[in-house]
Amino acid sequence: MKNSLYVGNETGRPNSNELPAELNLTDFLYEAIDTSAFINVKNWAQFFDAIPVDPYIPDGYRYKSIAWFRIKHIKAAAIDGIDDHIAAINKLSGMSDEESKRYLSSGKPHWVSEETGYCCWNLPQYAMQQSIKYNPVHGDMRREYPRISSGITESADFHKLLIHYASFFGWSDAIVLVQFQRVDCFTSRTGLPAVEGFHQDGNRHVGMLVVNRNNITDDSGVSQYVMDDSGKKTDELIFNSVIPPGQLIYWNDKRVWHYGTKIEVADGNVNNGRGVRDIILLSAKTPPGNMPMGPVPIKDKK
């Protein structure tokens, strides 16, 4: 298990002087990393209490906030499709050209990791609009979510997490969707971490960091993976474990299908009979792959 801050991959650590080497995904299935050496996730558990309920889950057991970023290496040429996509969604949002330019690779990054050479732009609060191909429950529906607290997104630990993700896979340029997600349960109702069952999300790779498991049974909220076979799910579990708080797992979304089993309350007399599981999902988007960005809901536009 790796626990260094800037992992890099088998071809070396990213740095400011040269283009990073991208991880070869051909043989990569998943890898778990203990983040306790560089992130204190205990500081983040409190922020999940403030996330409002996800209005798109009728049973009300999920809470979600999101944020979009663009993370490009300083030595990399911008991928045109990324600038084009950001500009197009900004236009659909009614944003002026001048404002839109601030979010393109020609604009000034919000922060730069001097050590790895990765530059980050905070993108507007785009909606999520997944293709129906990847999400039969919510595909093609535009979903608006509140932004992750700036207390998190402006923190050094959060920047380390984004840099860890970029460094592990060694990409040159990508849009990153970050989702903070809580699922809760009560003695009278369980909670479902993956509404759609075993699935893929149309990404190349995904990261999941477990922040908190509170008052849920040890054998609930289990992460499971099965192999993909030419676009079809197979049956044999290749991973079937509870990921504890502080663990980050990266997986290859093309080669495996993922699922999280339902969560159940451990002790009905604790925490008012409520159990929660809090996670952070990281997914990098590069065209022509799935780019599930919907226009910014500008509510105060005349």
Q: Is 253 in the site for Fe ion (CB under 5 A)?
A: no
Cβ 35 to Fe ion, closest distance in Å?
Answer: 20
Q: Which residue, 184 or 201, is less far from Fe ion as judged by CB? A: 201
Q: Which residue, 117 or 221, is less far from Fe ion as judged by CB? A: 221
Size of the site for Fe ion (CB under 5 A): 1
Ordered alpha helix ranges (H), 63-115:
80-92, 97-101
Cβ 199 to Fe ion, closest distance in Å?
Answer: 6
Tokens of 252: 């290859």
Q: Which residue, 74 or 291, is less far from Fe ion as judged by CB? A: 291
How many contiguous H segments (helices) and E segments (strands) does the chain have?
Answer: 5, 13
Distance of CA 267 to the CA centre of its chain: 30
By CB under 5 A, the residues from 76 to 135 that bind Fe ion are none
CA proximity to 49, closest of 294, 271, 264? 271
- Give the other-Cβ count within 10 Å of 155's Cβ: 15
**Measured between alpha carbons, how far is 249 from 153 in angstroms, rounded to an integer?**
20
Tokens of 268: 């009905």
Q: What letter does residue 147 receive in the DSSP assignment? A: B
Cβ 194 to Fe ion, closest distance in Å?
Answer: 6
Q: Which residue, 214 or 224, is less far from Fe ion as judged by CB? A: 224
Cβ 14 to Fe ion, closest distance in Å?
Answer: 26
Cβ 5 to Fe ion, closest distance in Å?
Answer: 26
Q: Which residue, 109 or 139, is less far from Fe ion as judged by CB? A: 139
By CB under 5 A, the residues from 179 to 208 that bind Fe ion are 201
Cβ 201 to Fe ion, closest distance in Å?
Answer: 5
By CB under 5 A, the residues from 27 to 56 that bind Fe ion are none
Q: What share of the chain is helix, strand, coil (3-state, %, to 5)?
A: 15, 35, 50
Q: Which residue, 50 or 132, is less far from Fe ion as judged by CB? A: 132
Residue nearest to Fe ion as judged by C-beta position:
201
Beta strands in 187-288 (DSSP E): 205-214, 223-229, 232-241, 247-252, 256-260, 274-285
Tokens of 294: 């919907």
Q: Which residues bind Fe ion (CB under 5 A)?
A: 201
